[in-house]
Amino acid sequence: MIAIVDYKAGNLTSVRLAFEALDTEAVITSDPEVIRSAERVVFPGVGAAGAAMMHLNEMGLATVLTDVVDAGTPFLGICVGTQILFDSSEEDGGVACLGLVPGEVKRFHPPDPLCKIPQIGWNTVGFKVDHPLFDGIENGSEFYFVHSYYPAPSDASFILAETEYADACFACVVGRGNMAATQFHPERSGRIGLQLLRNFTTWDGRV
């Protein structure tokens, strides 16, 4: 069973429906016990990092997430879920985050007024490593992004894939060991995104 962590950070319906399309049992939950005992954990989120971190702390889920990552449970962050795995985010005047990935989350600075923020749409993803989550997906495929801030790991070994937008070539997939996290939305990225999620449903957490 997959636990989709519900911490009041946006709408999780599309994540649940994507796993439903893969005939994989996935529950939306904020119950620490369900999350700890899940076979796999998905940590999604949209909206602002500050509010997301606040809800996570209020609901007592910050340590639960750290624990499941430490325990070796296959773990997938998505969008704002990915961003708050970092040490900190520039959003909301600066937010201390979970510190599971070294580095910070930065705001795009568009080089010209025609480069719009947020980035909304499909952008090319270049794989930096072979990773089980990328099985069956062609390097350079496009995924769906919606964000104004981007992940900037301070340790390059965490970078699994990169994308270019505005003033940045940024890490759009980060991870280490059993933890992987995407800035894009695999659940909104058509057949190719579904392939990444399918890979996650069979991933043993090893790379």
Report the interface residues with other proteins, using CB under 8 A. Answer: 10-11, 13-14, 17-18, 20-21, 46-48, 110, 113-114, 116-124, 138, 141-142, 144-147, 164-165, 185, 187-194
Query: Active site includes 79?
Result: yes
Q: Which of 79, 97, 131, 147 is catalytic?
A: 79
Whole-number minimum distance, CB 36 to other proteins, in Å?
27
Question: Of the residues 104, 131, 147, 187, which is catalytic?
Answer: 187
Q: How far apart are CA 49 and CA 171, in angstroms?
A: 17
Nearer to other proteins, 34 or 144 (CB): 144
Of 174, 181, 189, residue with least CA distance to 123 = 189
The least distance separating other proteins from the CB of residue 48, rounded to whole angstroms, comes to 7
Cβ-based neighbours of 192, under 8 Å, separated by 6 or more: 137, 141, 142, 143
Residue 140, classified by CB atoms within 10 Å of its CB into exposed (0-12), middle (13-18) or buried (19+), is exposed
Give me the least distance between CB of 44 and other proteins, in Å please.
Answer: 13
Nearer to other proteins, 122 or 127 (CB): 122
| 164 in catalytic set | no
CB of 30 to other proteins, least distance (A): 16
> Which residue, 32 or 47, has its beta carbon nearer to other proteins?
47
Least distance from C-beta 114 to other proteins, angstroms? 5
Structure tokens at 15: 């994540």
Closest CA to 190 of 125, 142, 147: 142
Catalytic one among 104, 131, 172, 185?
Answer: 185
Q: Is the peptide bond before 118 cis (omega within 30 degrees of 0)?
A: yes
Distance CA(67)–CA(28), nearest Å, equals: 19
Report which residue type is found at 48.
Answer: A
Tokens standing for residue 179: 């933890």
Q: Determine the Cα–Cα distance for residues 97 and 10; give it in Å rounded to an integer.
A: 18
Q: Is 169 a catalytic residue?
A: no
User: Which residue, 65 or 172, has its beta carbon nearer to other proteins?
Assistant: 172
Shorter beta-carbon distance to other proteins: residue 60 or 121: 121
**Which residues are catalytically annotated?**
79, 185, 187
